[in-house]
């Protein structure tokens, strides 16, 4: 992919990832240019008529009833940016900021926001020339969107007659932290003097929430596929029972995700000599019920993906303009769809991590691991002198407990602001940030299971040298061992687990196991 073309209608999650993480260039579709110019003409007509329209010739929020004269419209937009850029906390990751800039440009490209083409061109120039605003993570209620964070982008992009460097925010450019003014000058991007409605159009909408959501959806799919691989590896290492993955069972219930997970595991373990080699008739829930638990995570992800892909192609500021120049004031900026979706996804991924941790526990407990050494030390007589996989499991358990707190729903929390004019807020940005943390934690939990299961398979195949792994699990096991060779005695496991996690996030394990 060399270029992403935006038109306000067809942006995908994969496009967002390509621009945010891989630096793919972005352009505006010709059809979108026509729509944007038409909507700007409507704004000019409204100003000329003098009709009172929220955000165009009135104040904002609780000041919506106060009229603003046309000659003050530019100052109105600039004041909005300056007064709203009050975020706090650590800076958001560059990939989130780039994703948000792309989503905002796509929103404006729909032609309902009334901005000039140069506003969208300016946003795309930030992406294409590598100027990344420094945006604080906290301070958004998710309604009227992510106001503070979007205003921080606008500090970089826009200016006024005074052009004070102190009012230009900060940005990363070519490895340096610069003032927004300096970064834009070095990159050769002209900062914009805002006109009527443009400050509101730049700052209204749950754009950062949606951007984080898009990245989380992409990563969640990777983690769910990894969860099938780690499940299959653990099933082999524990010499589990295949009956629980029989397609007839899952068709009888009918959930698509459940059917998919069972099929994936069957494919991975196909040809295994370890599965079904004991006299057990059924396994513990963390193995036997994994299709039911992990399957509904897939179904949840499908819903969340639909919400996020709808939102990144949505017109989300207020008011919106429609043919023949009608301005409608509404609430498309409200982040409730994103807040709920992120809460759902966070809960699903927390459960994926939780069931993975239980399998890791079974692998290391000699009472449940079907004859393997305690803590997976190399030999029984090494126990005590060596701790084996004891502490990696501690880390997994800690992250699972943290996920349980992070997965507590944020979207049910609301406080009124703006003198009760904005009396129900979505808390969407907090939900999205927490889900992103759950994604990171769950990736590490799965890496620990994969790492532990690979070690368990080393020991199991030593016990049964004549037995072979399934077609997919053999590839997955060998891929892990290609990154981290087996070590008999205690070693610094931490960096090796990080290597496995990096393999997972780069889809190396997933790609290898299905090749």
296 and 191 share one domain:
no
Residues 170 and 294 in one domain: no
Q: Which residues make Cβ contacts (< 8 Å) with residue 388, sequence separation at least 6?
A: 364, 373, 374, 375, 376, 377, 382, 490
Answer yes or no: is 324 within a domain.
no
Query: What CATH number is given to the structural domain containing 297?
Result: 1.20.200.10
**Are residues 254 and 373 both part of a single domain?**
yes
The tens-digit pLDDT sequence of the chain (515 residues) is: 689 999 999 999 999 999 999 999 999 999 999 999 999 999 999 888 888 888 788 877 677 778 888 788 888 889 989 999 999 999 999 999 999 999 999 999 999 999 999 999 999 999 999 999 999 999 999 988 899 999 999 999 999 988 899 999 999 999 999 999 999 999 999 999 999 999 999 999 999 999 999 999 999 999 999 999 999 999 999 999 999 999 999 999 999 999 999 999 999 999 999 999 999 999 999 999 999 999 999 999 999 999 999 999 999 999 999 999 899 999 999 999 999 999 999 999 999 999 999 999 999 999 999 999 999 999 999 999 999 999 999 999 999 999 999 999 999 999 888 878 788 889 999 999 999 999 999 999 999 999 999 999 999 999 999 999 999 999 999 999 999 999 999 999 999 999 999 999 999 998 766 65
Domain closes at, from 176, 205, 234: 205
Helix (H) or strand (E) holding 93: none
Cα–Cα distance list, 219 to 300, 423, 438, 443, 460 (Å): 14, 34, 11, 9, 32
Residue 320 lies in a domain: no
Q: Is 269:232 a contact under the CB 8 Å cutoff?
A: yes
My answer on whether 195 and 231 are in the same domain is no
What CA–CA distance (Å, rounded) separates 20 from 94? 8
For residue 181, what is the domain's CATH number? 1.10.275.10
Alpha carbon distance 133, 246 (integer Å): 52
- Answer yes or no: is 53 within a domain: yes
Residue 76 DSSP one-character state: H
Contact 337, 147 (CB under 8 A): no
Confirm whether 99 is domain-assigned.
yes
The contacts of residue 32 (CB under 8 Å, 6+ apart) are: 6, 7, 8, 109, 110, 111
- Per DSSP, the three-state class of 68 is coil
Both 373 and 230 in one domain: the answer is yes
Pairing relationship of beta strands 132-133 and 170-173 according to DSSP bridges: antiparallel
Whole-number Å distance between alpha carbons of 513 and 471: 8
Is 134 inside any structural domain? yes
Q: What is the domain count for the chain?
A: 2
- 287 and 184 part of one domain: no
Does residue 179 share a domain with residue 228?
Answer: no
Question: Are both 177 and 284 inside the same structural domain?
Answer: no
- Give yes or no: residues 402 and 345 share one domain: yes
CA–CA dist 429, 97 (Å, integer)? 13
Q: Which of 205, 225, 252 is the last residue of a domain?
A: 205
Note whether residue 417 is domain-resident.
Answer: no
Residues that are catalytic: 54
Using CA atoms in the order 66, 148, 12, 434, what is the torsion angle rounded to 10 degrees? Answer: -130
The answer on 248 and 133 residing in a single domain is no
Same domain for 291 and 383: yes
For the CA atoms of 227, 309, 90, 120, what is the dihedral angle to 10 degrees?
150
Residues 36 and 168 in one domain: yes
Query: Cα–Cα distance between 356 and 297 in angstroms, integer?
Result: 13
pLDDT for the residue numbered 515? 57
352 located within any domain: yes
Are 277 and 239 in contact by the 8 Å Cβ rule? The answer is yes
> Do the domain assignments include residue 16?
yes
End residue of a domain, out of 158, 182, 205: 205
CA-derived radius of gyration, the chain: 26
Which structural domain, as residue segments, surrounds residue 124?
3-205
Instruction: Report how far residue 512's alpha carbon sits from residue 478's, in angstroms, rounded to the nearest whole number.
Output: 9
């Amino acid at each position: 992919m060399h270029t992403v073309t935006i038109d306000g209608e067809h942006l995908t999650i994969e496009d967002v990832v390509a621009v945010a993480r891989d630096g793919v260039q972005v352009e505006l579709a010709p059809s979108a240019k026509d729509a944007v110019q038409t909507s700007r003409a409507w704004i000019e007509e409204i100003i000329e008529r003098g009709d009172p329209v929220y955000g165009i010739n009135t104040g904002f929020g609780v000041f919506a009833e106060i009229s603003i004269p046309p000659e003050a419209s530019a100052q109105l937009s600039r004041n909005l940016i300056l007064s709203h850029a009050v975020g706090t906390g650590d800076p958001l990751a560059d990939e989130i900021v780039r994703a948000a800039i792309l989503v905002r440009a796509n929103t404006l490209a729909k032609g309902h926001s009334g901005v000039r083409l140069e506003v969208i061109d300016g946003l795309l120039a930030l992406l294409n020339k590598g100027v990344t605003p420094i945006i604080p993570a906290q301070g958004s209620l998710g309604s009227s969107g992510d106001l503070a964070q979007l205003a921080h982008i606008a500090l970089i992009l826009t200016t006024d007659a005074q052009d004070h460097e102190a009012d230009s925010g900060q940005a990363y450019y070519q490895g340096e932290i610069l003032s927004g003014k300096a970064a834009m000058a070095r990159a050769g991007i002209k900062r914009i003097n805002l006109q009527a409605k443009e400050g509101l159009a730049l700052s209204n909408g749950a754009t950062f929430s949606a951007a984080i959501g898009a990245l989380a959806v992409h990563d969640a799919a990777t983690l769910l596929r990894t969860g099938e691989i780690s499940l299959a590896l653990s099933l082999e290492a524990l010499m589990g029972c295949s009956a629980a993955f029989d397609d007839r069972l899952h068709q009888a219930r009918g959930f698509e995700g459940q059917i998919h997970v069972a099929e994936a595991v069957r494919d991975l373990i196909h040809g295994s000599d370890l599965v079904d080699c004991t006299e057990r008739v059924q396994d513990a829930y963390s193995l036997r019920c994994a299709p039911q638990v992990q399957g509904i995570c897939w179904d949840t992800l499908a819903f969340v993906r639909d919400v996020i892909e709808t939102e990144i192609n949505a017109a989300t500021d207020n008011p919106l303009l429609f043919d023949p120049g009608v301005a409608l004031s509404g609430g498309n900026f409200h982040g409730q769809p994103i807040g709920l979706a992120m809460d759902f996804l966070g809960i699903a991924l927390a459960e994926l991590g939780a069931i993975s941790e239980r399998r890791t526990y079974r692998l290391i407990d000699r009472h449940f691991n079907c004859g393997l050494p305690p803590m997976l030390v190399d030999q029984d007589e090494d126990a005590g002198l060596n701790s084996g996989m004891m502490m990696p499991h501690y880390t997994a358990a800690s992250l699972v407990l943290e996920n349980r707190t992070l997965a507590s729903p944020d979207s049910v929390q609301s406080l009124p602001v703006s003198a009760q004019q904005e009396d129900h807020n979505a808390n969407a940005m907090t939900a999205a940030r927490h889900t992103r943390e759950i994604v990171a934690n769950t990736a590490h939990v799965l890496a620990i299971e994969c790492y532990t299961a690979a070690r368990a398979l080393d020991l199991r195949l030593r016990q049964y040298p004549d037995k072979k792994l399934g077609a997919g699990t053999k590839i997955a096991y060998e891929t892990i061992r290609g990154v981290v060779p087996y070590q008999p005695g205690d070693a610094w496991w931490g960096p090796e687990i990080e290597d496995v996690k990096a393999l997972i996030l780069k889809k190396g394990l997933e790609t290898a196991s299905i090749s």
